[in-house]
Every structure is written in structure tokens, then in C-alpha cells.
Amino acid sequence: MNNNDIFKKLRVALQLRDDQIIEILNLVNFRVSKGELGNIFRSEDHPNYMECGDQLLRNFLNGLVIYLRGTKEDPKNPREVLDQIAKNKTSISKDAKKPETKKPFQPKSTTNKKPFGQGKPSTKKQKPESPVERFKFNSGKNKK
């Protein structure tokens, strides 16, 4: 069992989301991005898999102690913290997750542009251009 397995099991057991893990790590002034966390929680055969180092796991455990117990100056009851997390998860119903009704899509207005085909016809004769005329061949020589 390696550090990644321990970290995954703690995340599942405590029902922590990635943003909560980042918040816990910030309590001990350890910065990590969501992408790096995602790489740690990937399977070992994934190309972006990243090994969880001892320093990351140590800082997470120290931050978890502060998150659950609080500091000496401001102690917390761990059971209350865990109950509050569980209560917040159950209070979100599927109806609350639905986004509000969206406004219909309206493209940005353009300034004084007429729709195609509604302007004055061009008096200028356009000579049909051959695609061969646009092609430039340099015969493999670089121009300086």
C-alpha cells in the first residue's frame, strides 16, 4: 500500500471533495492545484499518474488535524465538523443543482454590417483566379 492508496482511502472515508482537500492543505500553507490532485487520484497505468510524496501526505494529515480539531486557541469538536459536512451533502437536492432557466442565445451585435447579399452589388468586375496562380514553388531553396 502506497501513499496514493492511503490518500484515496482518506478522501473516500471523510467524503472530501477536491476543493475541500485544497482548503485543508492551505491551512498548513501547502499549495497544490486541482490538476495535481487529479493526477494523484488517477490509476497507476494512466499516463498523467503522479506519485503522492511523503511531504504531501504529511501536510494533508497535519492540515486535517487542524481542520477537524481546530487550533489550541480555537478548538473544535471533530464529531460536529463531520456531522456538518454530512448535513451539507444531504441538504443539496437534485432540484437545487439544476441551473436557472437560461436566456436564449443572442449573438453580439455587429456595428453597421449588412447581412450577406443585401448590400449594393459591386460594379467592379472580378476576374476568376486560378488556384494554380496562388501557389508558390521555391524548389527547396531558402530565400535570405
Query: 76 — phi, psi (to 5°)?
Result: -125, 160
68: left (phi over 0), alpha (psi -120 to 50) or beta: alpha
For the cut 70, the answer to whether the pLDDT of residue 18 exceeds it is: yes
**pLDDT tens by residue, 41-51:** 998 899 989 99
pLDDT at 92: 47
d(CA 134, CA 67) in angstroms, rounded, equals: 67
What DSSP designation does 73 have?
S
pLDDT at 129: 67
**Would you mind telling me the total number of residues written for the chain in this entry?**
144
Better pLDDT: 18 or 107? 18
pTM score of the predicted model: 0.57
